[in-house]
Structure 1
Amino acid sequence: MFKQLHQNIRIRIYTSFLSRIIGSMIFPFMAIYFTEKINATAAGILLLINVVVQFLAGMYGGFLADLLGRKRLMVVGETMKLLAFIGMLLVNSPMFTSAIATFSMMLVISVASGFINPAAEAMLIDVSTKETRAFMYSVNYWAVNMSMMLGLIIGGWFFKTHFFELLIGLVLMSVVTLWMTAVLIQETYQIKQNVEKKEYGIIPLLKSYQTVITDLPFVLFTFGGIAILSLEFQRNNFVAVRLEEEIIPRTFSFLGDLSITIDGVRLLSFLTVENTLMIVLFTAIASRLIKGKSEQTIMYIGFVLFGLGYAVLAFSNNFSFLFLGVLIFSIGELMYVPTRQSILAEIVDDSRRGAYMAFNGIVFQIGKMFGALGIIVGEAIGGMNMAFLYGIFVLLGILFTGTGIYKRNQHLQVEGKKELEGRKGTV
């Protein structure tokens, strides 16, 4: 069935897999890079700025995809990424290293990603049908998780010792993905002619979210999502830096003379692989187990388990406890992700689904911002207090989410009564 998908879909899955497998060897560990080159506070600030830039670029990238076309914007973005990767390579060579120049290149990459992602998502919808989308997104989900898992395994072993070589691989892979995008992908969008320029400005962009922002139940539900997703982005920020600083390298022997030395970075890669395997292997099983049960109850239990697992990662240096923590939050993730998505679909206004789902994307961007801030806060208050803070975030997630659902149900009840009274009045 994969071969029956449109060529654009297959090429996009290929390019996404290739770029992620190399990117996952490097970018999840950049918090460690900036902490070592500068300090933890600066690392948090720099990564926070990077997230803000990508968020703004992504918001505007959606507009440009309709102005320039899908393929053209994707090619522009891939070209920008290639040039930025070459720049990162040059400023991290054996002869010259500059953390600030590296950060500047990361900003360019963030802008490029902000251009590529909305155009690629729009292109996938352009060339898919209602019947093929479920399969398309399923294959893409597996490809993303597998590429990240493989990349993290390799990056965990070689990031600190072979960073320059990994950057060479990133440049070469970027050349391949640029060629595949420019040559093999077909344009799917017919650019509209005679469109007024005001439709593409910043003010229309802001006005498009005015209706969504005034929907209090949805906004509260979104705040709840931000609180929970903020924990997930701690792994590659505060948790990564803490493990790298606090874990004393340990050598494990097996099969006679063979041995493995595990430091903080390699331990993080193993923990991430454990989480990825849990999600990949047990998503279908979890979906069957929670089917027909109370979605809200399962979601809240998932929130609690998710926060509990991350609380363990915030302070423990015991390998067994760390792997147990990942197991706990992975179970929580399997419980809350599908149930929250299902409830979200019921909360959004169907007549403005596009604007609502675009606004929902803020959950991930603000979550990343809190993830970057976690480095700064964690440096100041320590791991135990961070674990306590994670618990507060879980409570806020439950409070905001529950309040949003309650207010939406109240609104539906009022609307139902009005409709019923209107029908009685016409009899």
Structure 2
Amino acid sequence: MLSSFSKNIQTTLVTSFFSSLVYACTIPYLIIYLAGLFSPELLGILVMINVVSSFLAGIIGGYLADNFQRKKILMIFQNLYGVSLFVVALNFTGILSHHFWLIGGYLICGITYNLYYSAFDAVLLDSTVPAERKKVYQLEYWSFNLSMALGASIAGFLFKYYLFYLFFGAALLQFAVSAFLQKNLSYKNSVSHTKGKTIFHDLFTNYYIAAKDKRWVILILGIALYSAAEFSLQNYTGIRLSKEFEPITLFSVNIDGVRMLSILQVINTIMVVFFTFIVSRITEKKTERTVIIVGLLIYISGYGLMASANSIYLLIPLTILATFGELASAPILTARQVDLIPEDKQASYLSFGSLSFQISQLIAAVGLTLGGYLTASLISGYIIILGVAGIYFVVSSLYDVKKSTY
């Protein structure tokens, strides 16, 4: 299927796959490592600081993507992302042993990633035509989940004893990804020539258009609320399993909490790899609105209940349940979301849209902090209630009968 698209689409999809692989190998497990150094309350605050700084970086990244050449932005900040991973790797060797370097590397990872990802999204959107867009985003969704499973498999089994090699290898792969993109991407974008008196004026003007689009704002808020369910797996649920899950032996392999988290992510991705297009065919004749509502309800219920489950006999079925909900709703949502974006403000809308990513991380971080005071069952309720509110906002935005033709 990949060969049927243009070279630029192929290049961005391949780059997306390996960039996601780098993320999956490192950041979720770095948070688990930090959980061994700091209290849940302090770790929650640290994650929130990362979310806020990443959000501000995302705003600046969207501005840069609309006003400068996106290929240069990708080259600069993808390489800086690799540098930040290298700094974390050096911490595990004892060369940069102070916690300052570890925390600094973690924060810089979030900042640099968000400085370049708006440009990356805009390049992919720019390279597609409406007729192929749904297939392109479906393929991106499929490859993203495959990369997450591979990353989780690698990191889960290297986490305890080979952290340096894990992060050093991820840094090298990130540098290779950047070089591949620069060599194979043939792309030059037009830039905005409307300048304000200062960069802050330009930033405000750039985002005001997206921020005053009520329908877009409601959609982004809704996505943030339901996406927090999945982010809780990487934050609250993952850390809880690393501490509370009773190790078991499966096929002569010792499975502790960290490896259990990896297994759950691998199951999720294996299902995505084999069932994405099957589920798509099953649901394509159904009403989109119904598919999204039912799919998202299953999705948030699965991830929400996983936050309080400790048994492998509950965790695996809940993962399967959540994944089926994700498979039914995610490709439709992605395709419909980009239909709302004006062509002349793609990067700004996409960067403003990254708020959903940042807010969902913030909600998950709040859940992590609350976990120091509340029971796991209450955290499950917190995740599910917010998810239901998110579904309401998403459906209201996408399928308002006065504004939508779908």
Same fold per TM (> 0.5)? yes
Q: Distance in 2 between matches of 1:180 and 1:141?
A: 21
Give the one of 280, 285, 292 matched to 1:287.
280
Alpha-carbon displacement from aligned partner over 1:287-327 (angstroms, at most 9, x marks no partner) = 22223333333333223222221232111111010101111
Q: CA deviation at 1:14?
A: 3.5
Give the one of 255, 260, 276 matched to 1:262.
255
Q: Distance in 2 between matches of 1:10 and 1:349?
A: 22
Q: Percent same amino acid among aligned pairs?
A: 28
**Residues 229 and 384 in structure 2, CA contact (< 8 A), matched pair in contact too:** no
- The alignment status of 1:140 with 2:133, answered yes or no, reads no
**Residues 311 and 387 in structure 1, CA contact (< 8 A), matched pair in contact too:** yes
SS of 2:323's equivalent in the other structure is helix
- The alignment status of 1:68 with 2:64, answered yes or no, reads no
- The alignment status of 1:383 with 2:381, answered yes or no, reads no
- The alignment status of 1:369 with 2:362, answered yes or no, reads yes
Q: CA deviation at 1:265?
A: 0.5
**Residues 34 and 42 in structure 1, CA contact (< 8 A), matched pair in contact too:** no
**Residues 223 and 363 in structure 1, CA contact (< 8 A), matched pair in contact too:** yes
Q: CA deviation at 1:202?
A: 2.6
Aligned twin of 1:324: 317
Which stretch of the first structure deviates more once superposed, 351-360 or 237-246?
351-360
**Residues 229 and 304 in structure 2, CA contact (< 8 A), matched pair in contact too:** no
Q: Any residues of structure 2 matched to 1:11-410 within 5 Å, and which?
A: 11-94=11-94, 97-130=97-130, 133-134=133-134, 136-189=136-189, 195=193, 197-198=195-196, 201-252=199-250, 254=251, 259-341=252-334, 344=337, 348=340, 354=346, 358-401=351-394, 408-409=400-401
- RMSD over aligned Cα, in angstroms? 3.1
Q: Distance in 2 between matches of 1:319 and 1:6?
A: 43
Aligned twin of 1:418: none
Alpha-carbon displacement from aligned partner over 1:310-352 (angstroms, at most 9, x marks no partner) = 2321111110101011112112222333454566578x48688
Alpha-carbon displacement from aligned partner over 1:115-169 (angstroms, at most 9, x marks no partner) = 3222223333445555665554444333322222111111111112211111221
**Residues 47 and 365 in structure 2, CA contact (< 8 A), matched pair in contact too:** yes
Summarize the Cα distance change of 1:280–1:318 in structure 2 as closer, same or farther, 3 Å threshold.
same
SS of 1:261's equivalent in the other structure is strand
Q: CA deviation at 1:270?
A: 0.6
* TM-score, reference length from structure 2: 0.87
Q: Distance in 2 between matches of 1:398 and 1:123?
A: 29
Summarize the Cα distance change of 1:117–1:242 in structure 2 as closer, same or farther, 3 Å threshold.
same
Aligned AA (2:101): A
Q: Distance in 2 between matches of 1:401 and 1:127?
A: 26
Aligned AA (2:239): V
Q: Distance in 2 between matches of 1:187 and 1:341?
A: 23
**Residues 149 and 268 in structure 2, CA contact (< 8 A), matched pair in contact too:** no
SS of 1:47's equivalent in the other structure is helix
Q: Distance in 2 between matches of 1:112 and 1:375?
A: 24
Q: Distance in 2 between matches of 1:127 and 1:216?
A: 27
SS of 1:93's equivalent in the other structure is coil
Q: Distance in 2 between matches of 1:127 and 1:401?
A: 26
Q: Distance in 1 between matches of 2:218 and 2:121?
A: 26
Summarize the Cα distance change of 1:374–1:190 in structure 2 as closer, same or farther, 3 Å threshold.
same
Structure 1 spans left out of the alignment, 5+ residues: 414-427
SS of 2:253's equivalent in the other structure is strand
**Residues 218 and 393 in structure 2, CA contact (< 8 A), matched pair in contact too:** yes
Q: Distance in 1 between matches of 2:395 and 2:9?
A: 38
Q: Distance in 2 between matches of 1:34 and 1:368?
A: 16
The structure with higher relative contact order (CA 8 Å, sep 6+) is 2
Aligned AA (2:87): G
Aligned AA (1:250): I
Q: Distance in 1 between matches of 2:163 and 2:280?
A: 39
**Residues 22 and 174 in structure 2, CA contact (< 8 A), matched pair in contact too:** no
SS of 2:160's equivalent in the other structure is coil
Summarize the Cα distance change of 1:162–1:189 in structure 2 as closer, same or farther, 3 Å threshold.
same
**Residues 93 and 164 in structure 1, CA contact (< 8 A), matched pair in contact too:** yes
Alpha-carbon displacement from aligned partner over 1:234-291 (angstroms, at most 9, x marks no partner) = 0100000100010122223x4xxxx100000100011011112222322222222223
Q: Distance in 2 between matches of 1:121 and 1:82?
A: 19
Alpha-carbon displacement from aligned partner over 1:57-84 (angstroms, at most 9, x marks no partner) = 2222222234431222111113312322
Q: Distance in 1 between matches of 2:394 and 2:66?
A: 33
Aligned AA (1:326): T
Q: Distance in 1 between matches of 2:282 and 2:304?
A: 26
Q: Distance in 2 between matches of 1:91 and 1:82?
A: 15
**Residues 224 and 400 in structure 1, CA contact (< 8 A), matched pair in contact too:** yes
Q: Distance in 1 between matches of 2:141 and 2:197?
A: 33
Summarize the Cα distance change of 1:323–1:186 in structure 2 as closer, same or farther, 3 Å threshold.
same
Structure 2 spans left out of the alignment, 5+ residues: none
Q: Distance in 2 between matches of 1:269 and 1:340?
A: 26
Summarize the Cα distance change of 1:200–1:169 in structure 2 as closer, same or farther, 3 Å threshold.
farther
